[in-house]
Structure 1
Amino acid sequence: MYKILVINTGSTSTKLAVFVDGNNTLEENIVHSAEELEHCATLLDQYPIRRDAILRFLNNNGVNAKNFDAVAARGGTFGYAKGGAYLVEENLLEACRHPVTNHPSNLSAIIADDIAKTAGCKAYIYDAVCVNEVRDIARTTGLADIKRRPFSHVLNTRATAKDVAASLGKRYEDMNFIVAHMGGGISINLHEHGRIIDLCSDDEGPMSPERAGKLNGKAYVDLCYSGKYTKDEMMKHIKGRGGLVSHLGTSSLIDVESMIDGGNEHADFILNVMAYQIAKEIGALATVVRGCVDSIILTGGCAYSKRLTEKIKVSVSFLAPVTIVPGAKEMEALAEGITRVLDGEEGFHIYEKA
């Protein structure tokens, strides 16, 4: 029987859960206020705030932080990684301190390492955001000095695809899936026989609740050099203030649907645009496997919106059966993956920077 602490750091929250013998016995989503984080000049400055919040929560709930068999952390955007587990050690920690992109998920491993040392156990990450199983043909762009970054919601999409395969009485490794993770950002993955061979990341495809998605390159360059915005402000335009936020002033699909129910035709049009763009990218990925798709899965928080999923389903169901799996099982996936490592069913990698 294993006791595993799971840590998942997001932009304004830190999720944690305690799994005992595979069961989620305690879970919390610690929300960090803007006032709490505004004094942090860098992402790394948030580390002690988030670590102390976790330790406080555990202590307040009678959980001894020295009594874990492993700590499982979300893997971030620290480089390019293989699928599966990585031991958190100095190479990985250094990469998380100086990541490819500055994403809060990189803090998870750093915090996990600290708590694991207290507990006298090991910390791991599993199916990191930066897992790269994509073929070279899918990473090459029209500019020789730019390659696509294959960053996506690997953890949830793979875990969900495995669950759907099991529900059909088949092995994940024997099937082809297109999985759309629809949250604050949207990424769409093509899983061919157990590998994510191509994808659409959250900055190159459909608009999402808070991200702009694919943009006309010339128009965006013109805006960048218009003198109206700084680099940080432009980054906010595409990630944070894009998508539904830009068009409708909210990232909440509940709010958008309320607008539509109240007769707001523009809100209805924008939701149609988002569904149209998601469906179009699903169709594009189907061409990579010549239409041989066993199942299309719509998952993530936005999949709770029947209005959205039905619009997508109408457009893509000719390709393959569509399965709706609302929400995300990232915490469970982390615990399950590291349990397999502890049981010896899976090994783990040591990170080596390319």
Structure 2
Amino acid sequence: MKKILVINPGSTSTKISIFEDDKEIISENIEHKVEDIEKCKKVMEQLPFRKKCVVDFLKRNNLSIDDLDAIAARGGILPPMKSGTYRVDEEMVNYLKTKPIVDHASNLAAVIAYELSKQSSKELPVYITDPISVDEFIPQSRISGIPQLERHSLFHALNMKIVARFAANELNKKYEECNFVIVHLGGGISVGAQRKGLMIDVNNASDEGPFSSERSGELPMDDLAKWIFKNLTSYSKEEVKSNFIGKGGLFAYLGTPSLKDALEKANKNESARLIIDAMAYQIAKEIGGMAALLGGELDAIVITGGMAQSDYFVQKIKDKIDKLGLIMVYPGSYEMEGLALGALRALNNLESSKLWEGEKAL
């Protein structure tokens, strides 16, 4: 039985688990002090106290580094790369420390794991699986409509890929044989077309596709350009961006990013109900478009993420897409399982772990 430590840093907390094979036996979500987060100008400055949290977690549970068979870390925001499980090495760690594309909490995980592995008396493998920057686009997916701006693959790869594996298992089919439309419903919404194990297209959850709890999604270009130029002297670049990512979507319309609170408002207010209906409408529209890319060869539509815990909201989406095919729902997040199972596949030689090829991996 393989014992795997899983490390998954979020913006203000760090999730840590111990898995024995595919079973999670210990789990903690450690909230960090706001002042500790705010005094760090860059995320990597949080490394000492984030790492100490993991060390203390092991001590509390009477575990040492030598008790582990592997460490599975959330993949940081690396340059575009194929999906799969990668062995963390010094080159990847140095990149995350010095050249991250985005200053994001996920960049800490592999660095923490790699440094801890060096304290082991044995060679302790460290893995990442399906980071945000997974890129399996076909050439047509990259075309935006203007040569200067290429579309990029950035999505909730870890959660979407693991629920695809769950769905394939339920269907008694090989993961690499299945065609899915996969929908992650969270603070950002990703809707992707996965063909034979490859995500050939997906909306960038930051600025494409449906609006979500706090993001605006796609916007009318002419009106957007007018709004930006009108407000150039009133807002900084960061403030303009925050109107669309962080303060958009449900938050902009209803004053809350919480679907639960928004649904309560919708029960009392017709205009709030319209916003909920519109979000489900846009999600369904995106699903239909991705289904078209698969040419009707669709094994299932797979819905996951935090908002998928609302049966009411999921049903609103289902009502519009139920004729497209089988709908499978995996509410919540399966990131910890995705990391542990990726490491386990590598340890058991069910999947060859990949070596990161650096900045020009694609």
Fold match (TM-score > 0.5): yes
Report what 2:215 is aligned to: 211
Question: 1: CA distance between counterparts of 2:26 and 2:174?
Answer: 31
Alpha-carbon shift at residue 328 of structure 1 (Å): 1.7
Report what 1:253 is aligned to: 259
Are 1:328 and 2:333 an aligned pair?
yes
Question: 2: CA distance between counterparts of 1:108 and 1:224?
Answer: 36
Corresponding residue SS for 2:239? helix
Report what 1:348 is aligned to: 353
Structure 1 residue runs of 5 or longer lacking an equivalent are none
Alpha-carbon shift at residue 325 of structure 1 (Å): 1.3
Report what 2:277 is aligned to: 272
Report what 2:115 is aligned to: 114
TM-score normalised by length of structure 2: 0.93
Report what 2:193 is aligned to: 190
Tell whether the 8 Å contact from 1:212 to 1:242 is kept in structure 2 after alignment. Answer: yes
Alpha-carbon shift at residue 195 of structure 1 (Å): 1.0
Alpha-carbon shift at residue 296 of structure 1 (Å): 0.6
Tell whether the 8 Å contact from 1:72 to 1:334 is kept in structure 2 after alignment. Answer: yes
Paired positions, count: 353
Alpha-carbon shift at residue 233 of structure 1 (Å): 1.6
Corresponding residue SS for 1:83? coil
Amino acid aligned to 2:234: K
Structure 2 residue runs of 5 or longer lacking an equivalent are none
Are 1:244 and 2:244 an aligned pair?
no
Corresponding residue SS for 2:323? coil
Corresponding residue SS for 2:67? coil
Report what 1:59 is aligned to: 59
Alpha-carbon shift at residue 341 of structure 1 (Å): 0.7
Corresponding residue SS for 2:73? strand
Provide closer, same or farther for how the CA distance between residues 63 and 247 of structure 1 changes in structure 2, counting only shifts above 3 A: farther
Q: 1:296 aligns with which of 298, 301, 319?
A: 301
Question: 1: CA distance between counterparts of 2:59 and 2:224?
Answer: 49
Question: 1: CA distance between counterparts of 2:299 and 2:6?
Answer: 32
Deviations 1:183-205 (A, max 9, x none): 11111121111111111120211
Question: 2: CA distance between counterparts of 1:32 and 1:239?
Answer: 23
Amino acid aligned to 1:51: K
Question: 2: CA distance between counterparts of 1:267 and 1:58?
Answer: 46
Alpha-carbon shift at residue 58 of structure 1 (Å): 2.5
Alpha-carbon shift at residue 11 of structure 1 (Å): 1.9
Q: 1:319 aligns with which of 319, 324, 337?
A: 324
Alpha-carbon shift at residue 66 of structure 1 (Å): 4.1
TM-score normalised by length of structure 1: 0.95
Question: 2: CA distance between counterparts of 1:217 and 1:34?
Answer: 37
Report what 1:25 is aligned to: 25
Tell whether the 8 Å contact from 1:77 to 1:151 is kept in structure 2 after alignment. Answer: no
5 Å matches for 1:136-215? 136-202=139-205, 203-215=207-219
Tell whether the 8 Å contact from 1:139 to 1:147 is kept in structure 2 after alignment. Answer: yes
Identical residues among aligned pairs (%): 39
Amino acid aligned to 1:323: M
Deviations 1:286-341 (A, max 9, x none): 12122222211111110011121111101111111211211121111111111111
Question: 1: CA distance between counterparts of 2:257 and 2:66?
Answer: 39
Deviations 1:34-87 (A, max 9, x none): 333111111212222222222223222322244322110111321111111111
Report what 1:286 is aligned to: 291
Amino acid aligned to 1:102: D
Amino acid aligned to 2:299: D
Tell whether the 8 Å contact from 1:224 to 1:231 is kept in structure 2 after alignment. Answer: no
Question: 1: CA distance between counterparts of 2:266 and 2:33?
Answer: 30
Tell whether the 8 Å contact from 1:79 to 1:95 is kept in structure 2 after alignment. Answer: no
Alpha-carbon shift at residue 220 of structure 1 (Å): 3.0
Question: 2: CA distance between counterparts of 1:266 and 1:91?
Answer: 53
Deviations 1:145-185 (A, max 9, x none): 22111011111112111211211222222221001011111
Question: 1: CA distance between counterparts of 2:45 and 2:223?
Answer: 35
Provide closer, same or farther for how the CA distance between residues 145 and 27 of structure 1 changes in structure 2, counting only shifts above 3 A: same
Provide closer, same or farther for how the CA distance between residues 10 and 190 of structure 1 changes in structure 2, counting only shifts above 3 A: same
Question: 2: CA distance between counterparts of 1:217 and 1:32?
Answer: 39
Report what 1:220 is aligned to: 224
Tell whether the 8 Å contact from 2:86 to 2:128 is kept in structure 1 after alignment. Answer: yes
Question: 1: CA distance between counterparts of 2:283 and 2:156?
Answer: 15
Question: 2: CA distance between counterparts of 1:67 and 1:124?
Answer: 17
Q: CA RMSD in A?
A: 1.6
Tell whether the 8 Å contact from 1:180 to 1:297 is kept in structure 2 after alignment. Answer: yes
Tell me which moved more, 217-226 or 31-40: 217-226
Tell whether the 8 Å contact from 1:166 to 1:172 is kept in structure 2 after alignment. Answer: yes
